[in-house]
Each structure stands twice: as structure tokens, then as C-alpha cells.
Amino acid sequence: MQTTNSCAKNKNTRENFARKLPFLLSRNKIISAIKNFFASENFTEVDTPILQYSPGMEVHLFAFETQFNNINGIDSEKLYLHTSPEFSMKKLLSFGLKNIFQFTHTFRNEVVSPTHYPEFTMLEWYRIGYNYEKLMDDCEKILRESLSSIGTDHFEYNGKKCYIKDGIERLTIAKAFEKFCHFDILSTIDNPQKPTTKLLKPIAQKLGINVSEIDTWDDIYEKLMFEFIEPNLGIDRPTILYEYPIHQAALSKEKDGNPNIAERFELYVCGVELANAFTELTNRKVQEERFLHDQAEKKTIYGTTFPIDYEFLDAIENLENCTGIALGVDRLIMLCTHAKDITDVLWIEIPTI
């Protein structure tokens, strides 16, 4: 049985660091290229706190918890390491800043895998006066600049290759399910705000998906995505998956002319989800309703919940029309350098994980 010290020795050795060094030097080049892109677009780089009163409201995200102890030894307050800098960055936008970006360490208390580490680097940026289609163009430019900066022409992971020369494929959720599952996913939504499993469950079972009695519509949807959709996205060329059902909108606004669809997209390369983007919701009342719904659902499923950041909701009232996106930097570097594991592109690993 290994001790903690021996685990640390096995991970963080001179030999392992020497093996990783080419990936890490490429990491610096890629980040510099991305910063140059934002400079050319007249963005302002910002730096927001990692410690937050509310770490994020997504139902299935888990945060690291800590405690602030005041000097008097009496007052204390529960705080969290953020799961995204989104709340803070939108507060800055509400103060009058325009186009902003930031690289930040981000924390999600989830299972370690070849594509996920509990502490990772996130790139987040916002544009005032645009919708999410502008961010699709940004993604293509950033992918091109990232590859060019290290002198390669393709992304690679798990034997899958992806080239940017023909641009990015844009695929709606509806078309993706028609293409890979051969049915209309939107027709299985009997309640736009909270669909039941009545229509989706029998279709999924016919496709060989194991559906339990406690599975929700979203649970079944995620199983179908994992089995049939995601492995086929970003193959040969990057894929943008867009027009999500409105109940999966998170912090995005509804599509103009279709209140059942959200202006949200995700970017995939080599079957790996790389970024998540929204045309930002600027309606305080609707956002508060979504937060309350997410609080209740998280409490029902996991027996816990996070507080609502009402300062953030106040900021929404002063937010201009804008669009924002979060991109996993470590994943991008892994795909650019053809590394096999996300830890290959981290300067040093946490000894006990």
C-alpha cells in the first residue's frame, strides 16, 4: 500500500517533469497567442476573486467549500472556490466595461479523468452588443491561432484527429439527434420548462439505453449524448452544437422568435467538450426564477444547495446586451499538443489526487 509521500514521489518526479516539459512550453506559446488575439480585438484583461459567496448555480456542479474567520474569532462566513468567474465578470460589465477576458484557476469538485482535473485553467470572455454567433467566429480564430503558435495543423486525442482548415461545423441539437439517433429530440419535450420522461424513455430504451425509474428527461438526454452524440462531434473538423432546449438555458436568453430554444452553444474537438457559450440573459426576474428552480432541484437530488448571489442579480439590471463564453484551457492545450492526459499539460500535480 502506497503512502501519501510515495504517491507524490510517483507523480512529481524530475523524469516525469522532463517528459511533460515540451507540452508545458507549448502551453505558454498557446496562451500567449490567445492573449495576442484579445489584444488585437481591443479587449481588457481582468482579474476577479476566486473566493465567492455563491460558486455557481448549475444543478450538477460541485464546489470546494471553505470558511472565512474574522479576526474577532466570532464572525465567520462560508465561502466557496468559484466554479466559474462568470458572476464577477458580469458585475464588471454592469459597471460599464465593454469587451473583457480573463484566464483564471477554476475549481470543480468532481471525478478526476483524462479530461478533467479538480483545479483547472478557464478562459472566459464577453462581448458587448453581440449575440453568440460572434463568439462562434472567435472560437474559430482562437483554434487557428492556438495550432499555429506551436506549428501544428491538427488537434488529436484518443486516435481522433481534427483539422480547422475547413472551418467549424455548426450543428443544432435537433439535427445532431436526427443524424446520430434518428429521432426528433425536441418532439419528446412535453413541458418546455420541465419535460417528463414519458416520450423520451421508450425511444431511449429502444436504442439500448438503460433507463432507471428515477431518471429525469435530462438524465436520459445525457446518456444519449454520451453514447451516440458526443463521440461523433469534432471529428475531422471542430463542431459547434447549438440551440439547446430552453430548460437547459442556464444563464442564456431565449432565441428570438422561439421561446422554447436557448441561444447557447458548446464547442467540441475530437469528441471533447471544449467551451460553453451564451447570449447572456439580462432579465433579472427570469434569472432569479431559474436560480430558485436550480436551488430546489439540487436540494432534491443531492440534499444540498448553494446560496443565490443577489448582488449578481442586481447587476443584471444594468447589463447591456452581451454574449459570453467559458473555454477549458488545459483541454485546448491537450488537444493541440496531442497529449494523452490533462495532467500532461499541468506544471505540477496535486500530490494526493
The answer to whether the beta carbons of residues 344 and 334 sit under 8 Å apart is: yes
Alpha-carbon torsion angle 171, 156, 231, 249, nearest 10:
-50
Which residues, at least 6 apart from 117, have a Cβ–Cβ distance to it below 8 Å? Answer: 330, 342, 343, 346, 353
The confidence score (pLDDT) of residue 73 equals 63
Residue with cell 427570469: 286
pLDDT at 75 exceeding the cut of 80: no
Alpha-carbon torsion angle 184, 190, 193, 195, nearest 10:
-80
- pLDDT band, very low/low/confident/very high, at 74 (cuts 50, 70, 90): low
- Render pLDDT for 92-150 as a digit per residue (tens, 0 to 9): 999 999 999 999 999 999 999 999 999 999 999 999 999 999 999 999 999 999 999 99
- pLDDT band, very low/low/confident/very high, at 9 (cuts 50, 70, 90): low
Mean pLDDT of 171-194: 96
Mean per-residue pLDDT over the chain, rounded? 93
The answer to whether the beta carbons of residues 125 and 90 sit under 8 Å apart is: no
pLDDT at 6 exceeding the cut of 60: no
Which residues, at least 6 apart from 324, have a Cβ–Cβ distance to it below 8 Å? Answer: 86, 89, 90, 124, 125, 126, 127, 135, 277, 278, 280
- pLDDT band, very low/low/confident/very high, at 8 (cuts 50, 70, 90): very low
**pTM listed for this prediction:** 0.93
d(CA 325, CA 123): 8
- What is the largest distance, in Å, between two alpha-carbon atoms of the chain? 63
- pLDDT band, very low/low/confident/very high, at 284 (cuts 50, 70, 90): very high
Helical packing angle, 132-149 and 14-40, nearest 10° = 130
Q: Rg of the Cα trace of the chain? A: 21
Residue type, 33: A
CA 96 to the chain's CA centroid? 25
pLDDT at 234 exceeding the cut of 50: yes
- Structural element, H or E, at residue 171: strand 169-172
Of all residues in the chain, the percent with pLDDT exceeding 70 is: 97
The confidence score (pLDDT) of residue 1 equals 43
The confidence score (pLDDT) of residue 58 equals 87
